[in-house]
């Protein structure tokens, strides 16, 4: 059986992934596909974070740059203006919270970690900022390596593959080699469901998710309320909680160690059920 690394070193604190963890999504953008504009204000972000922690989230991923297909590009200044006040408030109010920052910009990563953030979640795998890998190595923080082609503005025009699983695996092998060569110790792999992928590609990746365990890094599944679910079910993203729970359960059974979700309670329950099954 293929094995995975089952811990993360977060600023000297060991995070155990032998039981999968749930990462709650906190979008502080006006235009994210599901919850854009809902948590922009400080009090709303604080309230939402508190709710997710009460529901069992072990980590919170803060996004200040919308990466939905066709999203508007924003400046470095606008991203940091959105991010830093929320980050500073959460660190003050929840000092033990593990915070991930969803950014592809090394300058944002550096500023966020200086403020107290713990993990960098890069949708571009270093492709949109040549300094990102060196920055993460210098900062000594865990790095979520996601697969995407192009940019959020162009990615859906680049959803072409001979074999999507093999191409994503080759990408991960190359990128993790670069990162480990720079001294990055804690890498998390995210196949990038919905990023330059058709619905067929997404389900093929989900079906073969355990393939990526060969690289011995923890896997993150981020499918919450995405098009692969609601398009298949012919519903809206707001109706896609049940479908999200189904695909999250499949991902857990195929080796996912982190679920990145909007709906924490349902994901925590899925982890408990699958963990109970695995004890048989």
Active-site option among 226, 231, 257, 265: 226
Provide the 10 A C-beta neighbour count for residue 252: 23
Residues near 139 by beta carbon (within 8 Å), at least 6 away in sequence: 109, 110, 113, 120
Catalytic residue check, 48: no
Which position among 160, 260, 265, 272 bears the catalytic label? 260
Region of 271 (left: φ > 0; alpha: ψ -120 to 50; beta: rest) is: alpha
Closest CA to 255 of 195, 214, 213: 213
Residue whose pair of structure tokens reads 């990023």 in the numeric block: 195
Neighbours of 75 (CB within 10 A): 9
**Is the sign of the CA dihedral 29, 130, 22, 273 positive or negative?**
positive
Supply the DSSP string of 159-198, one letter for each residue: ---SSHHHHHHHHHHHHHHHHHHTT---EEEE--TTSS--
Q: Which residues contact 112 (CB under 8 A, 6 or more apart)?
A: 83, 84, 87, 101, 103, 120
> Among this protein's residues, is 105 annotated catalytic?
no
User: Catalytic residue positions?
Assistant: 226, 260
């Amino acid at each position: 059986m293929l094995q995975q690394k089952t811990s993360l070193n977060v600023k000297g604190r060991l995070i155990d992934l032998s039981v999968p963890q749930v990462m709650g999504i906190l979008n502080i953008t006006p235009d994210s596909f599901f919850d854009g504009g809902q948590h922009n204000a400080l009090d709303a972000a604080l309230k939402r974070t508190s709710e997710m922690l009460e529901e069992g989230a072990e980590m919170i991923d803060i996004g200040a740059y919308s990466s939905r297909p066709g999203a508007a590009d924003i400046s470095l200044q606008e991203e940091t203006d959105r991010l830093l006040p929320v980050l500073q408030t959460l660190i003050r109010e929840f000092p033990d919270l593990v915070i991930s920052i969803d950014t592809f910009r090394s300058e944002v990563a550096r500023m966020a970690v200086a403020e107290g953030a713990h993990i960098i979640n890069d949708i571009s795998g270093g492709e949109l900022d040549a300094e990102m890998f060196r920055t993460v190595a210098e900062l000594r923080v865990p790095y979520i390596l996601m697969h995407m082609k192009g940019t959020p503005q162009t990615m859906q025009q680049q959803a072409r593959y001979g074999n999507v699983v093999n191409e994503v695996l080759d990408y991960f092998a190359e990128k993790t080699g670069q990162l480990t060569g720079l001294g990055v110790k804690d890498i998390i792999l995210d196949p990038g469901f919905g990023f330059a992928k058709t619905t067929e590609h997404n389900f093929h990746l989900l079906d073969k998710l355990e393939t990526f365990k060969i690289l011995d890094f923890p896997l993150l599944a981020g499918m919450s309320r995405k098009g692969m679910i609601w398009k298949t079910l012919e519903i809206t993203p707001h109706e896609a909680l049940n479908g999200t729970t189904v695909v999250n359960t499949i991902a857990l059974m195929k080796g996912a160690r982190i679920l990145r979700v909007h709906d924490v309670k349902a994901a925590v329950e899925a982890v408990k059920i699958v963990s109970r099954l695995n004890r048989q």
